[in-house]
């Protein structure tokens, strides 16, 4: 299975990486499309290593743009299966980068847009991959069942006017996660459709910063 190109950016300045941020692009997009977003996160987290991989499904749009999993014939019944099929490869990629940069899973963050956000949300249903997820304009393939052992903080950012993935999915996910006692934040961005705006990215990185600070404070008491 071709995993396409992976772009890596070490922290600035040259210090050991304290965090690892893995950016997962949207459906039919490219890794390159996430690089500007990655740099905006690094502005707030200068000690973070950035990893921006290409999706695993090279059938998409002649092999230039990529998907994480096939979207043709996608429906509610096969969505979870299709995501589950790529999760081992996603986990392998994340583990490889954790070893590469010497960063543990607790300080790894999965940051995804649309289909990439779905992959990130589904990946942390199993504990031990990442300490946090920032999911933009995303939805679960299947909402977590009662007793799902999610040990990551989840930050959901969604456009109020998203007609591709309705904000209702994010609102429902936030309720379910809160019921599971998972630390979760939800920001609905006014006048935004299915897109990443400066405001959305700022909110996502701010919630991540706040979550890391809260987590650190909790361990000090």
Which residues are known to be catalytic? 114, 162, 194
Distance CA 105, CA 102 (A): 10
Pairing of strands 6-9, 108-113: unpaired
Closest CA to 165 of 186, 138, 134, 143: 138
CB 175 within 8 A of CB 152: no
Count CB neighbours of 202 within 10 A.
17
Polymer length in residues for the chain: 221
Backbone torsion region of residue 212, taken as left when φ is above 0, otherwise alpha when ψ lies between -120 and 50, otherwise beta: alpha
> Rounded to an integer, what distance in angstroms lies between the CA atom of residue 198 and that of residue 141?
26
């Amino acid at each position: 299975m071709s995993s396409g190109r992976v772009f890596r950016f070490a922290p600035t300045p040259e210090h050991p990486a304290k965090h690892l941020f893995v950016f997962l692009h949207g459906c039919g997009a490219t890794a390159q499309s996430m690089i500007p977003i990655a740099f905006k996160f690094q502005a707030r987290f200068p000690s973070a290593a950035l990893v921006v991989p290409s999706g695993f499904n090279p059938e998409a749009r002649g092999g230039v743009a990529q998907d994480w999993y096939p979207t043709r014939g996608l429906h509610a019944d096969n969505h979870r299966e299709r995501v589950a099929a790529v999760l081992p490869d996603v986990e392998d990629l994340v583990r490889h980068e954790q070893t590469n940069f010497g960063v543990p899973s607790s300080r790894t963050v999965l940051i995804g847009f649309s289909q990439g956000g779905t992959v990130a949300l589904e990946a942390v249903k199993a504990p031990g991959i990442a300490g946090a997820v920032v999911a933009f304009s995303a939805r679960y393939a299947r909402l977590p069942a009662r007793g799902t052992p999610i040990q990551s903080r989840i930050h959901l950012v969604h456009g109020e006017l998203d007609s591709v993935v309705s904000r209702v999915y994010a609102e429902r996910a936030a309720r379910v996660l809160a019921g599971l006692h998972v630390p979760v934040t939800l920001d609905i961005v006014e006048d935004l459709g299915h897109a990443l705006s400066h405001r959305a990215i700022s909110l996502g990185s701010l919630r991540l910063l706040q979550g890391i600070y809260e987590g650190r404070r909790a361990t000090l008491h």
